[in-house]
Structure 1
């Protein structure tokens, strides 16, 4: 297995110059009066962010902070049928010797930056809760990981990359945490590698199949059981997303290259495309302008360019539409429910088809749990593996306690 190489972000000066030149030439669309967010991000927001990105935002400052906060590396990972891909990842060990190895997996439009607020919390040593050795990779085509060069790089390949990375780091037995695509990829990993290698998995994106007439008792229970207020709100949120929030999904899963030309050429287009999700997918999270621009800059300066990250939708569309293709893991599962997640289904549906040993329901929070609610998400993961829980010391020889 190839050795790892320490990595630091160092965007060439010419890329910064090009970005400013493109921002100087930005052309904005017209806007209807009093439209607000009804048609998309307001022009006032995008113009303000563009102005700051062009004149006042200091990428070098944020680049330095990321490099100082996150121990980053790259390593070649051989993928069956696709050759070697150079993968970027964060790897921080706890001072607790028998800490639990944990893989953190992001989705779109996220990146490895999603681990930033929770990294020190997960690796912290304390007698009252378990600690973790944390690995957070940039998925192929995202951030500073190399993108696949040929078609057909689908769910099995993403799972293979993540698993082989953990093995390369010496973690033959570990647990996972993920949201968005990261939640679906780690589900597939739990199905394929669960038991021997992956001992348990936790997600803040607990999607599942609805009751079906093929299981008459479950379907009858679904028809007769009244929904709670929380479940009604979840169904309402899910209905909103499916009817009014999935335009991006249909474009990226059918013709990603078409959109890719715009996002690769126009930083303002990229900004608007992702900023919409940052706002509408969170629970009134107060994004600072610099926080948004750093998030977008990771895509703009990414190794393969922002278009590469879109293709995961094309390759994984069938797996997303038919969750059964991901398999049915039998290893212990933990789930965190946040009310402003994109798909919020009754927990009973999840329990019916999964080995749920830990479940937590929050009053606030949305799609980007590690950013919006870092302490709460980490507490959930800690509680799943704490003393007395069904998943305590589930990784042999690793209780997570000092």
Structure 2
């Protein structure tokens, strides 16, 4: 099946059913002094539900999404899983020779996360490269079809992303990902790097528990603050992970049947995982509505946790963290202060062929939505350094003036950005403990 234009058009009866469920909602009680200690505050949820029933105009926001984001669907064959109909945003730049970029979201995100960054990436400028942006809805998310069988894991999501880019005619491209998007784009870089994927950028830079050599280094500036954040997340913020990685079907009944449960489950993360982002109620409700109106229903989105962790809370994909599996194509990293898993920057030096890195002053887990300018800047600079000279050298349509104009703006490395070449042979593989997060927590305790 070739590319088919897609317009979000939620049926009237589906919208009416949502309102009926909201009006029939039964709320729990709450302790007088609970605050946010026990989870999403009752007052916040009641306010949002009231707005969802009376005042929030889904049709207005639906129309805005359709107007701002050109959307399409296409069938993608996945080895061992048949063919899935994939929804995606595809916004092309008017700039000749723009770089194709695949944007990959995570949970509880969607293609909606790319809304603010798409116009920045496609814009024409003499100061930076432009991009053709593809933001796919992961299978089981948004308006993409969901997998039908067990075993649809990171490799399969990566296969879909690569095949989608090739189907669109982008034989060479770069990627940007956070949350699950980190693991997916990392796998794309490993499996399809050099031939197709030319560089990857992440705002969720992870690294397995460090070697003794790295542990002996002084923690860099800002490292302790990050470890405090990680300690909080491991101790008080990961309950969702335990449920979704062990019994996704069980929690799925609540998410699929109760819009209030879905709202509370995700709203808590939108607040706790961001850097004091000033959420507008309608922003939150649009974010949640994309999940509620999703093609497969919101329960499908959490199964990725089970497949990744192999059905256990402490399950570990060893190949994700071992040095032997690090991709060798250029990697750009963004470090945001309110991210959930934050390591000292020095610990991430061996996570790949890092050619560009930036420590940001503001932003959290949903960086492309919270701080789109920051992600845009790092994508342009990373691509300008790592990709453009290569792609321009192959582009017979690029004029001499274009080559000089763009390549002359490649900045030299400075103290804020460090070139790190492939160090896989120098880094010993860590031994997988019963729980990787347990070791991280122990490290936080030592450092703090």
| Common fold by TM > 0.5 | yes
Select the residue among 353, 365, 368 that pairs with 1:367. 365
Asked if 1:393 is matched to 2:385, the reply is no
Larger RCO (CA under 8 A, 6+ residues apart): 1
Question: Aligned-pair distance for 1:384?
Answer: 1.1
**In 2, Cα distance between equivalents of 1:335 and 1:32:** 42
Q: Is the 8 A contact 2:220 2:344 kept in 1?
A: no
**In 1, Cα distance between equivalents of 2:70 and 2:265:** 29
Question: What is the correspondence of 1:209-224 to structure 2 with a 5 Å cutoff?
Answer: 209-212=208-211, 219-223=212-216
Select the residue among 261, 267, 291 that pairs with 2:283. 291
Question: What is the correspondence of 1:138-153 to structure 2 with a 5 Å cutoff?
Answer: 138-153=137-152
Aligned to 2:27: 28
Aligned to 1:321: 316
Aligned to 1:202: 201
Aligned to 1:111: 110
**In 1, Cα distance between equivalents of 2:113 and 2:288:** 13
Alignment CA distance shift 1:110-1:323 (3 Å): farther
Aligned to 2:256: 264
1:284-339 deviation digits (Å, cap 9, x = unpaired): 00000000000000000000000000101101125983353373101100000001
**In 1, Cα distance between equivalents of 2:292 and 2:266:** 11
**In 2, Cα distance between equivalents of 1:393 and 1:175:** 14
Question: Aligned-pair distance for 1:77?
Answer: 0.2
Aligned to 1:330: 328
Question: What is the correspondence of 1:146-185 to structure 2 with a 5 Å cutoff?
Answer: 146-185=145-184
1:74-97 deviation digits (Å, cap 9, x = unpaired): 000000111100000000111111
Question: Aligned-pair distance for 1:124?
Answer: 0.5
Q: Which runs of 5+ in 2 are unaligned?
A: 408-448
Alignment CA distance shift 1:348-1:324 (3 Å): farther
Select the residue among 221, 243, 248 that pairs with 1:251. 243
**Aligned residue pairs, count:** 392
RMSD across aligned positions (CA): 1.6
Q: Is the 8 A contact 2:214 2:347 kept in 1?
A: no
Question: Aligned-pair distance for 1:385?
Answer: 2.1
Question: Aligned-pair distance for 1:183?
Answer: 0.9
**In 2, Cα distance between equivalents of 1:261 and 1:339:** 34
SS class of match (1:33): coil
TM norm structure 1: 0.95
